[in-house]
């Protein structure tokens, strides 16, 4: 099993996306991000500095129901 410090998540895209990382007691890592604008984003997830299978993942964000400044 991996360790939390070996996991890196970065998001590149149209606008800024802050990432919140939380480590649960059972060792599960949770990452939450909220993009500030609609557009296309790439979610890069690395373990021990190597992309996990399928990374980078693409995310298309649309709408304006929730916009952060």
CA–CA distance, 24 with 27 (Å, rounded to integer): 5
pLDDT per position as a tens digit, 1-55: 556 678 999 999 888 888 888 888 887 888 998 888 888 999 999 999 999 999 9
CATH superfamily of 4-61: Immunoglobulins (2.60.40.10)
pLDDT per position as a tens digit, 46-55: 999 999 999 9
What does the CA dihedral 11, 7, 50, 40 come to, rounded to 10 degrees? -10
Q: Taking the domains of the chain in order of start, what are their residue ranges?
A: 4-61
CA–CA distance, 37 with 62 (Å, rounded to integer): 8
Q: Is 68 a residue whose pLDDT tops 60?
A: no
């Amino acid at each position: 099993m991996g360790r939390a410090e070996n996991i890196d998540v970065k998001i590149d895209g149209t606008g800024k996306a802050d990432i919140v990382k939380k480590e649960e007691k059972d060792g599960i890592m949770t990452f939450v991000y909220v993009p500030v604008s609609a557009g296309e984003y790439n979610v890069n997830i690395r373990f021990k500095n190597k992309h996990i299978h399928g990374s980078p993942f693409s995310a298309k964000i649309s709408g304006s129901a929730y916009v952060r400044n």
